[in-house]
Amino acid sequence: AFRSSLAPMTLLPYDLRRRDVDWSALKQLTEEWRRITSAGYFYGDYYPLTPYNRDDTQWIAWQFHRPDTGQGLVQAFRRQHSQTRTMLFRLGGLDPAVRYVVTDLDYPGKAEKRTGLELMETGLLVEMKRSPQAAVIVYRQVEDKRVARVKSC
């Protein structure tokens, strides 16, 4: 629920007297929101990665890309009755000759490097083992690491 309401501004209308709120998880999600908003992802170009739908058996996903900074954000949602555990999303707006560090915020220690070409043509594979579940994946351009172009003979 928290990730589905990510926006440049958020309100946290929680009753501080409640004992049934996981305050540690809420603090972690708030830090995630701060990281996302401080990077300005929501002010970038918008790419829908799935058709718009409200079907609780389907996924929905989108991307925000900042061409000026070489950074972006993918938000993906596996809805409550979806039987699909993995989806492949072809990203938009990337530089095909540049490498990007891609990080799923649920698994920050498993960042991987991919080229813009790979992310746009092959796609970004997202797995969610539970439903409902949400994933937030951030990426950033690796400085001065252009992919070598091979000349054909």
Model confidence pLDDT, tens digit, residues 24-46: 777 787 777 777 776 788 888 99
Residue 82 has pLDDT above 90, yes or no: yes
Q: How far is 39 from 69, CA to CA, in rounded Å? A: 9
pLDDT for res 3 = 62
Q: 105 burial class (0-12, 13-18, 19+ CB within 10 angstroms)?
A: middle
**pLDDT tens-place string over residues 44-68:** 899 999 999 999 999 999 999 999 9
Residue 130 has pLDDT above 80, yes or no: yes
According to DSSP, residue 108 is labeled: G
At which residue do the structure tokens 């701060």 appear?
34
